[in-house]
Amino acid sequence: MNGVRIAAVACLSTLALVAVISRSEAQETKNTPPAANPGIPVYNPPLRGAPGGRVGGGTRGAGRTGREVFVLSALAPDHPGLTVNEQPSLYWFISNPSSVPVEVTVADPAGTQPLLELQLPPPVRRGVHRIRLADHNVRLAPGVRYRWFVAVVADPSRRSRDILAGGTIERIALPEGLRLKLAQADKAQLPFLYAEAGLWYDAFGAISELIEAAPNDPELRKQRAALVAQAGLPELPEYTTP
């Protein structure tokens, strides 16, 4: 009889131990973040804590009748985006063609005149647009937070009716650890390295350049879509170019 009780106690102890282990493993699984998809760049926003970032955008109506409805978006994060380039590219998106002018402006917080004021005459095609600052001899000084805007000019005589979207960009020094990684990487790895380093404009520019070179590659578009989603931006349809 004593043997039976001893066996029962041993059995209950074993079951209790198994239950504790199971709960521990379940808790560990719950607290463990899902593994990152190795085929998707992961953007790590910089821990800089200052306000300022994406403004405006969304679905709006334009034209003198207001019947041209579209999504306008500056392809920028909702915080000051970083770059290591003196003359980076800025990207913006419009979902439908525009029959009215579009104006792109880069503002210097310390100046009275914008660094860039560029008007794109209509018609303006739908899709992703790229503004190369190097094409306009515009250079960013390190440590300065520039604001940039894209405006659909619905009525040139009433600029208060402009439809506006914009973002913030700041140039920083290239981190030494990243310098070595970039020197050893091929072009396909650049979006991943820049995104991991928190360099939004360089990551988005690198993946967009790859798409320009191979516009029908679905994996590249999936990578860019992942960056767009991580920044809380509207989804880019498959037809977008580049």
* Nearest C-alpha neighbor of 146 from the set 117, 170, 129: 170
Q: What domain range includes position 200?
A: 55-230
The reply to whether 29 falls in a domain is no
The reply to whether 12 falls in a domain is no
185-217 pLDDT, tens per residue?
A: 999 999 999 999 999 999 999 999 999 999 999
- Is 223:41 a contact under the CB 8 Å cutoff? yes
127-160 pLDDT, tens per residue?
A: 999 999 999 999 999 999 999 999 999 888 898 8
List all residues 6 or more positions away from 140 whose beta carbon is below 8 Å from its beta carbon. Answer: 83, 85, 86, 87, 88, 133, 146, 169, 170, 171
85-100 pLDDT, tens per residue?
A: 999 999 999 998 989 9
For tokens 């020197």, the residue is 183
Which residues share a beta bridge with 68?
Answer: 62
What number is the average pLDDT over the span 179-187? 95
Residue 29, pLDDT score: 38
Asked whether the predicted pLDDT for residue 113 surpasses 70, the reply is: yes
Which residues share a beta bridge with 129?
Answer: 92
Q: What is the number of structural domains in the chain?
A: 1
Tell me the CATH number at 201. Answer: 2.60.40.10
* Nearest C-alpha neighbor of 96 from the set 55, 56, 62: 62
The reply to whether 26 falls in a domain is no
Q: What percent of the chain has pLDDT over 90?
A: 60
Asked whether the predicted pLDDT for residue 118 surpasses 80, the reply is: yes
The reply to whether 204 falls in a domain is yes
The reply to whether 112 falls in a domain is yes
Residue 6, pLDDT score: 39
Token duo for residue 49? 């804590």
The reply to whether 242 falls in a domain is no
Asked whether the predicted pLDDT for residue 49 surpasses 70, the reply is: no
What number is the average pLDDT over the span 169-197? 96
**CA 93/CA 73 separation, integer angstroms:** 5
* Nearest C-alpha neighbor of 165 from the set 146, 147, 149: 149
Lowest mean per-residue pLDDT among 12-16, 109-113, 163-167: 12-16
pTM of the predicted model as reported, rounded to 2 decimal places = 0.79
